[in-house]
A and B are shown apart, each in its own frame.
Chain A
Amino acid sequence: MGSLLRAILVGLVGAGIVHALVLLLIPYVTAADVWARLERRAAFYEVVRIDPASGGNMLHLPDPLFEAAACRIDLSEGIVHLQADGEVPYWSMSIYDQSGQNIFSINDRTSNEGRLDFLVATSAQLTELRNSQAEDLGTAVFVETEVQEGIVVVRAFVPDPTFEPTVSRYLAGLDCSLR
């Protein structure tokens, strides 16, 4: 009887350990992972639409009045320049790490004159850039991240269907490239 009790107790302690392990491992082993889905659709620095209208929704509770585009970046290859021309009623941008967690976000009010013009860099790259001071960096806003590989998402508001062509063109013209 004592050994049965001991077996159950050890089993329960083991269940606790398994619980913690499974819980912490889930984010690393899921097949429906955003990064993997995006990898299948587009190469690094290639901009693709990820809203429901594009057929491959990757947004959590997507807003029917928004369109969104994404690109994958790899900062180990260099600093990434994000830019879009034109004007839309509202845009916002987020950077996600490989597991799809939001690590940085900004909207058109917090950017320079409402323009989407960013340089994404790691802190080491930023320090190097500041020390060199040789290049003309324009009016781009620096975004410092700690991740090497990530996903950049730009969302834009479509107040009514007449704005749809403007917003689509804006997102299609999004430039996500190494500088």
Chain B
Amino acid sequence: MLKSILLTALTLVIALGGGAGSVWLMIEEVPDFGAMTIGEWSVNPTEGTPQADPYAKARFAREGELSLGIAEGAQFIASRDATGQPLRGACDYVVTGSVPASRFWTLHAVQPGAANPPRAVQSLALLRASSGSFSIALSRHPAPGNWLQIDATGPYRLVLAVYDTPTVSSADLAGITLPRIVRERCNG
């Protein structure tokens, strides 16, 4: 009698604990497997749409936020530089390269615990070389040329938002090139 109660209890603990725990693990710890990685950047074209996978849907529902629609634009997120090191406010970086065809794009940093509202640079007000190429300095200290001010020394993520772009369906995303994030120097 006692044995069967214990076995039933064990079964229930495995079922409920294992089931709920594995969902939590998948949502909180496992990287978004619906996302595509392009260089340093990742993008999930189905995020926030009915086509997203169940894990992305659950994660998104918990965040409770509204994502950009396909006709609006696409957001690419980077949390590491070109060598794979995490982006940190203590380091200076330079972003160079090309951005997919679009009407315009913006670049801003998401920094947990930043004191000031985030700043952003946008493509319509960018200093460019005569060839049309650009470079943006990411630093806590003023830099000549295009400068995106970073607030604190901690880790941050970069968001490249590309608006009114034809390259949003996942078939098109595979062939695009995105800017590189190159570390210059670190202070601390």
A138 to chain B, nearest CB (A): 22
The answer, yes or no, to whether B119 is at the interface (CB within 8 Å) is yes
The answer, yes or no, to whether B89 is at the interface (CB within 8 Å) is no
The answer, yes or no, to whether A165 is at the interface (CB within 8 Å) is no
Select which of B8, B19, B47, B48 is within 8 A of A18 by beta carbon.
Answer: B19
By a CB distance below 8 angstroms, the chain B residues around A13 are 15
The answer, yes or no, to whether A160 is at the interface (CB within 8 Å) is yes
Contact call A4/B7, Cβ cutoff below 8 A? yes
Contact call B68/A110, Cβ cutoff below 8 A? no
Contact call A18/B64, Cβ cutoff below 8 A? no
The answer, yes or no, to whether B87 is at the interface (CB within 8 Å) is no
The answer to whether A10 and B11 touch (CB under 8 A), given A23-B54, A106-B71, A159-B125, is yes
Select which of A6, A100, A106 is within 8 A of B65 by beta carbon.
Answer: A100
A164 to chain B, nearest CB (A): 13
Select which of A7, A11, A34 is within 8 A of B66 by beta carbon.
Answer: A34
Contact call A104/B64, Cβ cutoff below 8 A? no
Contact call B19/A14, Cβ cutoff below 8 A? yes
Q: Which of B68, B103, B163 has the most CB atoms of chain A within a 10 A radius of its CB?
A: B68
Contact call B64/A100, Cβ cutoff below 8 A? yes
B26 to chain A, nearest CB (A): 8
The answer, yes or no, to whether B174 is at the interface (CB within 8 Å) is no
By a CB distance below 8 angstroms, the chain A residues around B125 are 159-160
Select which of A4, A26, A109 is within 8 A of B58 by beta carbon.
Answer: A26
* Interface size of A in residues (CB-CB distance below 8 Å): 61
Q: Which residue of B lies closest to A64 (CB)?
A: B120
Q: Return the CB mask of B61-75 against A: 1 if under 8 Å, else 0.
A: 111111111111101
The answer, yes or no, to whether B127 is at the interface (CB within 8 Å) is no
The answer, yes or no, to whether A32 is at the interface (CB within 8 Å) is yes
By a CB distance below 8 angstroms, the chain A residues around B47 are 60
Q: Return the CB mask of B48-91 against A: 1 if under 8 Å, else 0.
A: 11101011011011111111111111010100000000000000
Contact call B161/A63, Cβ cutoff below 8 A? yes
**A34-90 contacts to B (CB < 8 Å):** 34, 37, 50, 52-53, 57-61, 63-65, 70, 90
CB within 8 Å of B: which residues of A?
3-4, 6-8, 10-19, 21-24, 26-27, 30, 32-34, 37, 50, 52-53, 57-61, 63-65, 70, 90, 92-94, 96-97, 99-107, 109-110, 151, 153, 155, 157, 159-160
